[in-house]
Structure 1
Protein backbone atom coordinates (compact mmCIF):
# COMPACT_ATOMS: atom_id res chain seq x y z
CA UNK A 1 0.00 0.00 0.00
CA UNK A 2 2.83 2.40 0.88
CA UNK A 3 4.52 1.75 -2.45
CA UNK A 4 1.24 2.32 -4.31
CA UNK A 5 0.66 5.63 -2.55
CA UNK A 6 4.22 6.73 -3.35
CA UNK A 7 3.73 5.91 -7.03
CA UNK A 8 0.43 7.82 -7.10
CA UNK A 9 2.05 10.81 -5.39
CA UNK A 10 5.03 10.88 -7.76
CA UNK A 11 2.75 10.54 -10.79
CA UNK A 12 0.57 13.41 -9.58
CA UNK A 13 3.57 15.67 -9.04
CA UNK A 14 5.04 14.79 -12.43
CA UNK A 15 1.74 15.45 -14.19
CA UNK A 16 1.56 18.93 -12.64
CA UNK A 17 4.95 19.92 -14.08
CA UNK A 18 4.68 21.29 -17.61
CA UNK A 19 6.78 23.14 -20.16
CA UNK A 20 5.10 26.56 -20.38
CA UNK A 21 7.12 27.48 -23.47
CA UNK A 22 5.37 24.98 -25.75
CA UNK A 23 3.74 26.84 -28.63
CA UNK A 24 5.94 29.91 -28.10
CA UNK A 25 8.76 31.16 -30.30
CA UNK A 26 12.03 32.28 -28.67
CA UNK A 27 13.42 35.70 -29.55
CA UNK A 28 17.11 36.44 -29.98
CA UNK A 29 18.77 37.89 -26.88
CA UNK A 30 22.28 39.31 -26.66
CA UNK A 31 24.22 41.57 -24.36
CA UNK A 32 22.79 44.65 -26.08
CA UNK A 33 19.33 43.62 -24.86
CA UNK A 34 20.43 43.66 -21.21
CA UNK A 35 20.37 47.24 -19.92
CA UNK A 36 21.65 47.53 -16.35
CA UNK A 37 19.95 49.96 -13.98
CA UNK A 38 21.84 50.65 -10.72
CA UNK A 39 22.22 53.45 -8.16
CA UNK A 40 23.31 56.45 -10.21
CA UNK A 41 26.25 57.40 -7.99
CA UNK A 42 28.15 54.07 -8.07
CA UNK A 43 29.93 52.07 -10.73
CA UNK A 44 28.21 49.04 -12.23
CA UNK A 45 30.71 46.62 -10.68
CA UNK A 46 29.82 47.89 -7.21
CA UNK A 47 26.28 46.48 -7.49
CA UNK A 48 26.41 43.91 -10.32
CA UNK A 49 28.59 41.12 -11.66
CA UNK A 50 28.28 38.42 -14.29
CA UNK A 51 30.42 35.29 -14.02
CA UNK A 52 29.96 32.15 -16.13
CA UNK A 53 26.55 33.37 -17.25
CA UNK A 54 25.26 34.07 -13.72
CA UNK A 55 24.03 37.63 -13.19
CA UNK A 56 24.45 38.76 -9.58
CA UNK A 57 22.63 41.86 -8.30
CA UNK A 58 22.75 43.52 -4.88
CA UNK A 59 21.53 46.79 -3.40
CA UNK A 60 21.23 48.50 -0.01
CA UNK A 61 18.41 50.56 1.55
CA UNK A 62 20.75 53.58 1.74
CA UNK A 63 21.49 53.50 -2.01
CA UNK A 64 20.38 56.20 -4.44
CA UNK A 65 17.74 55.63 -7.16
CA UNK A 66 18.83 54.58 -10.64
CA UNK A 67 18.74 58.20 -11.83
CA UNK A 68 18.88 61.51 -10.01
CA UNK A 69 15.53 62.87 -11.20
CA UNK A 70 13.34 60.13 -9.69
CA UNK A 71 12.22 59.32 -6.16
CA UNK A 72 11.85 55.58 -6.80
CA UNK A 73 13.49 53.14 -4.42
CA UNK A 74 17.00 51.73 -4.91
CA UNK A 75 17.46 48.99 -7.45
CA UNK A 76 19.97 46.99 -9.42
CA UNK A 77 18.11 45.42 -12.31
CA UNK A 78 18.42 44.39 -15.90
CA UNK A 79 15.77 45.85 -18.15
CA UNK A 80 15.31 43.71 -21.25
CA UNK A 81 15.30 46.16 -24.15
CA UNK A 82 14.46 45.69 -27.81
CA UNK A 83 11.30 43.72 -27.08
CA UNK A 84 8.88 46.23 -25.61
CA UNK A 85 5.34 45.16 -26.46
CA UNK A 86 1.79 46.49 -26.40
CA UNK A 87 -0.09 43.41 -27.61
CA UNK A 88 0.28 39.66 -28.04
CA UNK A 89 1.40 36.96 -25.60
CA UNK A 90 4.91 37.22 -24.20
CA UNK A 91 6.88 35.06 -21.81
CA UNK A 92 9.92 35.50 -19.59
CA UNK A 93 11.94 32.49 -18.48
CA UNK A 94 14.89 32.40 -16.12
CA UNK A 95 16.46 30.61 -13.19
CA UNK A 96 16.62 32.66 -10.00
CA UNK A 97 18.48 32.30 -6.73
CA UNK A 98 17.94 34.28 -3.52
CA UNK A 99 20.38 33.93 -0.60
CA UNK A 100 18.98 33.70 2.91
CA UNK A 101 18.41 37.02 4.64
CA UNK A 102 17.17 38.88 1.57
CA UNK A 103 13.68 40.27 2.17
CA UNK A 104 11.46 43.15 1.10
CA UNK A 105 12.53 43.15 -2.53
CA UNK A 106 11.15 42.58 -6.01
CA UNK A 107 13.29 40.18 -8.04
CA UNK A 108 11.36 40.11 -11.33
CA UNK A 109 8.67 42.25 -12.91
CA UNK A 110 6.53 42.73 -15.97
CA UNK A 111 6.70 46.48 -16.31
CA UNK A 112 3.81 48.60 -17.57
CA UNK A 113 0.16 48.80 -16.67
CA UNK A 114 -2.74 51.22 -16.46
CA UNK A 115 -3.13 52.98 -14.08
CA UNK A 116 -0.37 50.94 -12.40
CA UNK A 117 3.35 51.02 -13.14
CA UNK A 118 3.60 47.23 -13.36
CA UNK A 119 1.55 44.24 -14.45
CA UNK A 120 3.36 41.65 -12.34
CA UNK A 121 5.95 41.70 -9.57
CA UNK A 122 7.61 38.73 -7.90
CA UNK A 123 8.71 39.67 -4.39
CA UNK A 124 10.66 38.05 -1.60
CA UNK A 125 9.45 38.38 1.98
CA UNK A 126 10.96 36.29 4.78
CA UNK A 127 11.97 33.45 2.49
CA UNK A 128 8.72 33.26 0.50
CA UNK A 129 8.29 34.09 -3.18
CA UNK A 130 5.11 36.15 -3.56
CA UNK A 131 3.01 37.71 -6.31
CA UNK A 132 3.11 41.30 -5.10
CA UNK A 133 2.34 41.01 -1.36
CA UNK A 134 -0.05 38.08 -1.86
CA UNK A 135 -0.46 35.24 -2.60
CA UNK A 136 2.58 33.18 -1.65
CA UNK A 137 3.75 31.34 -4.75
CA UNK A 138 6.49 29.28 -3.16
CA UNK A 139 7.64 29.19 0.49
CA UNK A 140 11.19 28.35 1.54
CA UNK A 141 12.75 29.78 -1.60
CA UNK A 142 16.17 30.62 -0.10
CA UNK A 143 19.49 29.15 -1.22
CA UNK A 144 18.36 27.14 -4.22
CA UNK A 145 17.90 27.66 -7.94
CA UNK A 146 14.27 27.87 -9.08
CA UNK A 147 12.82 28.29 -12.53
CA UNK A 148 10.42 31.15 -13.27
CA UNK A 149 8.12 31.42 -16.28
CA UNK A 150 5.96 34.53 -16.45
CA UNK A 151 3.39 34.66 -19.26
CA UNK A 152 1.57 37.89 -20.07
CA UNK A 153 -1.40 37.82 -22.44
CA UNK A 154 -2.10 41.49 -23.11
CA UNK A 155 -5.35 41.00 -25.04
CA UNK A 156 -6.84 38.70 -22.41
CA UNK A 157 -5.40 40.84 -19.56
CA UNK A 158 -4.03 37.68 -17.99
CA UNK A 159 -0.84 36.76 -16.14
CA UNK A 160 0.39 33.24 -15.42
CA UNK A 161 3.36 32.50 -13.17
CA UNK A 162 5.03 29.08 -13.17
CA UNK A 163 7.64 28.12 -10.60
CA UNK A 164 9.68 25.02 -11.43
CA UNK A 165 7.16 24.14 -14.11
CA UNK A 166 4.12 24.29 -11.83
CA UNK A 167 1.41 26.90 -12.37
CA UNK A 168 1.33 28.92 -9.15
CA UNK A 169 -0.65 31.99 -10.26
CA UNK A 170 -3.29 32.58 -12.94
CA UNK A 171 -5.06 35.91 -12.68
CA UNK A 172 -5.93 39.27 -14.15
CA UNK A 173 -3.26 41.64 -15.38
CA UNK A 174 -3.17 45.31 -14.50
CA UNK A 175 -4.08 47.02 -17.74
CA UNK A 176 -2.54 47.56 -21.15
CA UNK A 177 0.43 49.81 -21.77
CA UNK A 178 3.96 49.46 -23.11
CA UNK A 179 5.44 46.43 -21.35
CA UNK A 180 8.85 44.84 -20.88
CA UNK A 181 10.59 42.42 -18.51
CA UNK A 182 13.01 43.24 -15.68
CA UNK A 183 14.94 41.11 -13.19
CA UNK A 184 17.38 41.77 -10.36
CA UNK A 185 16.65 43.52 -7.05
CA UNK A 186 14.30 46.47 -6.52
CA UNK A 187 13.59 47.44 -2.91
CA UNK A 188 10.05 47.26 -1.55
CA UNK A 189 8.56 47.60 1.95
CA UNK A 190 10.71 46.74 4.98
CA UNK A 191 13.82 45.67 3.08
CA UNK A 192 16.67 43.78 4.68
CA UNK A 193 20.02 45.49 5.16
CA UNK A 194 21.31 43.89 1.97
CA UNK A 195 19.26 42.36 -0.81
CA UNK A 196 20.59 40.06 -3.49
CA UNK A 197 19.36 37.87 -6.32
CA UNK A 198 21.12 35.87 -9.00
CA UNK A 199 19.78 34.93 -12.42
CA UNK A 200 20.88 32.74 -15.30
CA UNK A 201 19.60 31.22 -18.57
CA UNK A 202 17.34 34.20 -19.34
CA UNK A 203 15.01 33.75 -22.31
CA UNK A 204 12.08 35.62 -23.84
CA UNK A 205 9.35 34.02 -25.94
CA UNK A 206 6.33 35.28 -27.85
CA UNK A 207 3.23 34.06 -29.64
Structure 2
Protein backbone atom coordinates (compact mmCIF):
# COMPACT_ATOMS: atom_id res chain seq x y z
CA UNK A 1 0.00 0.00 0.00
CA UNK A 2 1.43 3.37 -1.04
CA UNK A 3 1.64 6.22 1.47
CA UNK A 4 1.30 9.93 0.82
CA UNK A 5 5.07 10.21 1.22
CA UNK A 6 5.52 7.59 -1.53
CA UNK A 7 3.16 9.55 -3.73
CA UNK A 8 5.11 12.80 -3.32
CA UNK A 9 8.65 11.39 -3.44
CA UNK A 10 8.36 8.54 -5.97
CA UNK A 11 5.42 9.39 -8.17
CA UNK A 12 5.92 13.15 -8.41
CA UNK A 13 9.42 14.35 -7.54
CA UNK A 14 11.11 11.53 -9.44
CA UNK A 15 8.94 12.16 -12.49
CA UNK A 16 9.59 15.82 -13.33
CA UNK A 17 7.22 17.50 -10.85
CA UNK A 18 9.46 20.26 -9.51
CA UNK A 19 7.11 23.18 -8.83
CA UNK A 20 7.19 23.65 -5.06
CA UNK A 21 3.69 25.13 -4.92
CA UNK A 22 2.28 22.14 -6.83
CA UNK A 23 4.09 19.68 -4.56
CA UNK A 24 2.74 21.49 -1.50
CA UNK A 25 -0.80 21.44 -2.94
CA UNK A 26 -0.52 17.70 -3.57
CA UNK A 27 0.71 17.26 0.00
CA UNK A 28 -2.03 19.44 1.49
CA UNK A 29 -4.99 17.90 -0.37
CA UNK A 30 -5.71 14.43 0.97
CA UNK A 31 -6.77 12.15 -1.92
CA UNK A 32 -8.36 9.76 0.59
CA UNK A 33 -11.16 12.30 1.12
CA UNK A 34 -12.21 12.00 -2.52
CA UNK A 35 -12.30 8.24 -3.10
CA UNK A 36 -14.99 5.71 -2.07
CA UNK A 37 -14.65 3.93 1.27
CA UNK A 38 -13.52 0.65 -0.34
CA UNK A 39 -10.76 2.48 -2.24
CA UNK A 40 -9.20 4.43 0.63
CA UNK A 41 -6.35 1.93 1.09
CA UNK A 42 -5.38 2.61 -2.54
CA UNK A 43 -5.76 6.39 -2.39
CA UNK A 44 -2.05 7.17 -2.84
CA UNK A 45 -1.38 4.70 -5.66
CA UNK A 46 -0.15 6.06 -8.98
CA UNK A 47 -3.23 5.13 -10.95
CA UNK A 48 -6.76 6.31 -11.64
CA UNK A 49 -9.34 4.79 -9.29
CA UNK A 50 -13.03 4.02 -9.86
CA UNK A 51 -15.45 6.33 -8.06
CA UNK A 52 -18.65 4.74 -9.37
CA UNK A 53 -20.68 4.37 -12.59
CA UNK A 54 -17.61 4.06 -14.86
CA UNK A 55 -16.15 7.35 -13.56
CA UNK A 56 -12.63 7.69 -12.17
CA UNK A 57 -10.38 9.96 -10.13
CA UNK A 58 -7.22 10.83 -12.07
CA UNK A 59 -3.84 9.48 -11.05
CA UNK A 60 -1.84 11.85 -8.82
CA UNK A 61 0.95 12.33 -11.37
CA UNK A 62 -1.44 13.60 -14.07
CA UNK A 63 -3.15 15.97 -11.60
CA UNK A 64 0.24 17.39 -10.60
CA UNK A 65 1.56 17.47 -14.18
CA UNK A 66 -1.43 19.45 -15.43
CA UNK A 67 -1.29 21.88 -12.52
CA UNK A 68 2.42 22.44 -13.14
CA UNK A 69 1.85 22.96 -16.88
CA UNK A 70 -0.65 25.75 -16.21
CA UNK A 71 1.84 27.67 -14.04
CA UNK A 72 -0.90 29.24 -11.92
CA UNK A 73 -0.52 32.37 -9.82
CA UNK A 74 -2.31 32.89 -6.52
CA UNK A 75 -4.34 35.72 -8.07
CA UNK A 76 -5.69 33.58 -10.94
CA UNK A 77 -9.31 32.68 -11.60
CA UNK A 78 -9.63 29.20 -13.12
CA UNK A 79 -12.39 27.37 -14.97
CA UNK A 80 -12.35 23.60 -14.63
CA UNK A 81 -14.48 21.55 -17.04
CA UNK A 82 -15.20 18.16 -15.47
CA UNK A 83 -15.38 18.36 -11.66
CA UNK A 84 -15.50 14.62 -11.11
CA UNK A 85 -15.20 13.89 -7.39
CA UNK A 86 -13.68 17.33 -6.69
CA UNK A 87 -10.06 16.26 -6.13
CA UNK A 88 -8.51 18.18 -9.01
CA UNK A 89 -10.46 21.32 -8.13
CA UNK A 90 -9.20 21.05 -4.54
CA UNK A 91 -5.59 20.89 -5.75
CA UNK A 92 -6.11 23.86 -8.09
CA UNK A 93 -7.67 25.84 -5.23
CA UNK A 94 -4.34 25.67 -3.40
CA UNK A 95 -2.66 27.36 -6.38
CA UNK A 96 -5.19 29.97 -7.53
CA UNK A 97 -7.60 32.53 -6.09
CA UNK A 98 -10.93 31.10 -7.30
CA UNK A 99 -12.03 27.89 -9.06
CA UNK A 100 -15.22 27.62 -11.10
CA UNK A 101 -15.92 23.98 -11.88
CA UNK A 102 -18.58 22.55 -14.20
CA UNK A 103 -19.77 18.92 -14.14
CA UNK A 104 -22.22 17.49 -16.67
CA UNK A 105 -23.15 14.42 -14.56
CA UNK A 106 -25.57 15.48 -11.85
CA UNK A 107 -24.72 12.82 -9.25
CA UNK A 108 -21.01 13.60 -9.64
CA UNK A 109 -21.60 17.33 -9.17
CA UNK A 110 -23.50 16.52 -5.96
CA UNK A 111 -20.75 14.16 -4.79
CA UNK A 112 -18.07 16.76 -5.45
CA UNK A 113 -19.98 19.36 -3.45
CA UNK A 114 -20.35 16.90 -0.56
CA UNK A 115 -16.65 15.96 -0.70
CA UNK A 116 -15.58 19.60 -0.76
CA UNK A 117 -17.99 20.48 2.05
CA UNK A 118 -16.09 18.11 4.35
CA UNK A 119 -12.94 20.15 3.76
CA UNK A 120 -11.94 23.80 3.97
CA UNK A 121 -11.85 24.37 0.22
CA UNK A 122 -14.13 27.40 0.20
CA UNK A 123 -12.86 29.07 -2.99
CA UNK A 124 -14.48 26.51 -5.31
CA UNK A 125 -17.87 26.88 -6.97
CA UNK A 126 -19.38 23.77 -8.56
CA UNK A 127 -22.14 23.89 -11.16
CA UNK A 128 -24.09 21.04 -12.77
CA UNK A 129 -24.09 21.95 -16.47
CA UNK A 130 -22.55 21.10 -19.84
CA UNK A 131 -18.96 22.32 -19.67
CA UNK A 132 -18.99 23.03 -23.40
CA UNK A 133 -20.61 26.38 -22.56
CA UNK A 134 -18.04 27.16 -19.87
CA UNK A 135 -19.13 29.73 -17.26
CA UNK A 136 -19.70 32.85 -19.40
CA UNK A 137 -20.87 35.19 -16.65
CA UNK A 138 -17.56 34.72 -14.79
CA UNK A 139 -15.34 34.92 -17.89
CA UNK A 140 -12.68 35.77 -18.84
CA UNK A 141 -10.46 33.31 -16.97
CA UNK A 142 -6.71 33.26 -16.41
CA UNK A 143 -6.71 29.51 -17.03
CA UNK A 144 -9.09 26.80 -18.21
CA UNK A 145 -8.51 23.10 -17.61
CA UNK A 146 -10.47 20.21 -19.09
CA UNK A 147 -10.45 16.84 -17.35
CA UNK A 148 -12.36 15.03 -20.10
CA UNK A 149 -11.35 14.79 -23.74
CA UNK A 150 -13.31 16.54 -26.51
CA UNK A 151 -12.69 15.61 -30.18
CA UNK A 152 -11.46 19.21 -30.54
CA UNK A 153 -11.27 22.17 -28.17
CA UNK A 154 -14.60 24.04 -28.09
CA UNK A 155 -14.40 27.60 -29.44
CA UNK A 156 -16.76 28.65 -26.65
CA UNK A 157 -14.04 27.87 -24.11
CA UNK A 158 -11.20 29.50 -26.05
CA UNK A 159 -13.25 32.71 -26.14
CA UNK A 160 -13.51 32.67 -22.33
CA UNK A 161 -9.73 32.93 -21.90
CA UNK A 162 -8.06 36.20 -21.02
CA UNK A 163 -5.38 37.50 -23.35
CA UNK A 164 -2.29 35.76 -22.00
CA UNK A 165 -4.41 33.02 -20.45
CA UNK A 166 -3.79 29.29 -20.90
CA UNK A 167 -6.12 26.41 -21.70
CA UNK A 168 -5.04 22.83 -21.02
CA UNK A 169 -7.00 19.88 -22.38
CA UNK A 170 -6.76 16.25 -23.44
CA UNK A 171 -7.91 16.21 -27.06
CA UNK A 172 -8.90 13.29 -29.31
CA UNK A 173 -10.98 10.15 -29.46
CA UNK A 174 -9.13 6.84 -29.75
CA UNK A 175 -5.78 8.61 -29.43
CA UNK A 176 -5.52 11.62 -27.11
CA UNK A 177 -2.91 14.34 -26.71
CA UNK A 178 -2.58 16.79 -23.85
CA UNK A 179 -2.64 20.20 -25.53
CA UNK A 180 -1.70 23.57 -24.04
CA UNK A 181 -3.09 26.68 -25.73
CA UNK A 182 -2.13 30.26 -24.89
CA UNK A 183 -4.24 33.20 -26.06
CA UNK A 184 -1.79 35.73 -27.45
CA UNK A 185 -4.29 38.16 -28.98
CA UNK A 186 -8.06 38.32 -29.57
CA UNK A 187 -7.87 35.83 -32.44
CA UNK A 188 -4.34 34.52 -32.10
CA UNK A 189 -3.46 31.37 -30.14
CA UNK A 190 -0.25 29.41 -29.58
CA UNK A 191 -0.61 25.64 -29.38
CA UNK A 192 1.76 23.09 -27.84
CA UNK A 193 1.35 19.32 -27.52
CA UNK A 194 2.75 18.03 -24.21
CA UNK A 195 2.22 14.25 -24.04
CA UNK A 196 -0.06 11.34 -24.90
CA UNK A 197 -2.82 10.77 -22.34
CA UNK A 198 -5.99 8.76 -21.74
CA UNK A 199 -9.07 10.50 -20.31
CA UNK A 200 -12.78 9.78 -20.37
CA UNK A 201 -14.45 11.47 -23.36
CA UNK A 202 -16.12 14.83 -22.92
CA UNK A 203 -19.85 14.25 -23.38
CA UNK A 204 -22.72 16.56 -24.28
CA UNK A 205 -22.44 19.32 -26.87
CA UNK A 206 -18.72 18.69 -27.44
CA UNK A 207 -19.55 15.46 -29.27
CA UNK A 208 -21.50 17.41 -31.91
CA UNK A 209 -18.50 19.50 -33.01
Query: Is TM-score (shorter-chain normalized) higher than 0.5?
Result: no
Structure (1/2) with the larger strand percentage: 1
Q: Which has the higher helix share?
A: 2
Instruction: Flag the structure with larger Rg.
Output: 1
- Higher relative contact order, chain-length normalized (CA < 8 Å, sep 6+): 1
Q: TM-score, normalised by structure 1?
A: 0.28
Return the TM-score normalized by structure 2.
0.28
